[in-house]
Amino acid sequence: AVRTLALVARELGEDADWLADIATDLEPEDGLVWVYDPQHPDGTMAFSEFGIESLRNLIDIRRIMTK
């Protein structure tokens, strides 16, 4: 299963735009998936379970770096 950026942001209690910025460092092998459909021809960012774990790690790193 994959979860969209909006869903992951809601589940983590984070801002979706901030997460999208962080997630630009992720690659498909990190669990980042792009989903395309007629309503989102440019794609919607989504994450596998491993991708969510990777994103959480990046969140932790970003917070440590901004202290």
The boundaries of the domain holding residue 22 are: 3-65
Which stretch of DSSP H or E encloses residue 32? strand 32-37
Of the candidates 45, 59, 53, the one whose C-alpha atom is nearest the C-alpha of residue 7 is: 45
- Total domains present in the chain: 1
CA pair distance 27, 41, nearest whole angstrom: 20
Q: Across the chain, which distance is largest between two alpha carbons, in Å?
A: 41
* Tokens representing residue 54 in the block: 């990777």
Residue 26 has pLDDT above 90, yes or no: yes
Instruction: Kindly indicate the confidence band of residue 66, based on its pLDDT and cuts at 50, 70 and 90.
Output: confident
CA pair distance 15, 7, nearest whole angstrom: 11
pTM as predicted: 0.89
